[in-house]
Amino acid sequence: MPKPILSYTYDKNDTTLLELVQRHVGAVETTADTISFMMNNKATLNEEIVAQLNALSSTHKILSHGVGLSIGSYSGYSEAYLALMDELYQEVPLYWHSEHLGYTTVDGENINVMLPVNRNDECLAMICKRVEQIQKRYPIPFLLENIAHLLPDYNCIYSEAEFLNAIVRNTGCGLILDVYNIACDVHNFGFNMDDFLAKLNLDAVKEIHLANGSIYKDKMMDIHSRAVSEDVLQKTKEIIPSLKNLEFVTYELMPEAIPSMGYVAIEQELIRIKNTLEL
């Protein structure tokens, strides 16, 4: 089994950071929504970042990881996101692309936060149909990520693992396992991580996400602002041997957190993750 490759989020035009991190990672993960800006009522990718990703693609894998698809909105996913994804797909050689299993808009109105879908047959059919449409549109693998739950479950007949397994079974898509998001669910809702992992189709997991946030009103928040906690890192180390199709481990850090964390700490964090997980 080849070793998984360390990857890092690259969403900000920062060549100093890019030069620094590319020595430690074999892939970068970019978010089409974040590297784009609105001009004349149309979202457009930042040309400089696209050029940097293109140059990097000769030595590193480029992964796309969206936030604005809103695959779980009952009224339909975001065509604006797909237009950006079309552009990114045309401009940059992508290894695969992924999104979150959630919704960020309702009737076209932004809720400005990611919320989970209700795990029932209505949503299962809706999600699977959309995954298949996306798979037809882009002939590269598509992955879905488990998100941190902010609200209590409603009208769920499937467990988290059963729901993800059913999507994988029906569509053949892959999964991103965000270990920090699970840790948030454990902290916020008493979610049982071991039970989830025991029931999840681990063969579908092709990527792991690592991140850290902060506690607010006693809730652990999925913010991507800090070094990974020792708990999450050790849990990840424990899980990795059972993920036989795992290809990437991505350290997620939002662009807004780069100045406060600093280049040195980011580099040290990448080295720490790489050494601990033997990537």
Contacting residues toward Fe ion, per CB under 5 A: 178, 209
Of other proteins, Fe ion, none, which one sits near residue 186, judging by CB under 5 to 8 A according to partner kind? none
User: How near is the Cβ of 123 to other proteins at its closest, in Å?
Assistant: 6
User: How near is the Cβ of 182 to other proteins at its closest, in Å?
Assistant: 17
Residue with tokens 């992508």: 94
Count the helices and strands in the chain (H runs, E runs).
10, 14
Of Fe ion, other proteins, none, which one sits near residue 264, judging by CB under 5 to 8 A according to partner kind? none
User: How near is the Cβ of 221 to other proteins at its closest, in Å?
Assistant: 6
Residues at the site binding other proteins, with contacts judged by CB under 8 A: 33, 36-39, 43, 68, 73-75, 103-104, 106-113, 115, 117-118, 122-123, 126, 150-152, 154-155, 188, 216-219, 221, 256
Considering the complex, state which of residue 1 and residue 38 has its C-beta at the smaller distance from other proteins.
38
Cα–Cα distance measured from residue 272 to residue 278, given in angstroms and rounded to the nearest whole number: 10
φ and ψ of 139, to 5 deg: -80, 45
Considering the complex, state which of residue 109 and residue 278 has its C-beta at the smaller distance from other proteins.
109
Considering the complex, state which of residue 209 and residue 235 has its C-beta at the smaller distance from Fe ion.
209
User: How near is the Cβ of 148 to other proteins at its closest, in Å?
Assistant: 10
Considering the complex, state which of residue 222 and residue 269 has its C-beta at the smaller distance from other proteins.
222
CA dihedral 154, 206, 223, 180 (to 10 degrees): 80
* CB of 151 closer than 8 Å to CB of 118: no
Of other proteins, Fe ion, none, which one sits near residue 209, judging by CB under 5 to 8 A according to partner kind? Fe ion
User: How near is the Cβ of 270 to other proteins at its closest, in Å?
Assistant: 24
* CB of 181 closer than 8 Å to CB of 208: no
Considering the complex, state which of residue 45 and residue 208 has its C-beta at the smaller distance from other proteins.
45
Residue of minimal Cβ distance to Fe ion? 209
* CB of 195 closer than 8 Å to CB of 181: no
Strand partners, 135: none
Cα–Cα distance measured from residue 156 to residue 24, given in angstroms and rounded to the nearest whole number: 41
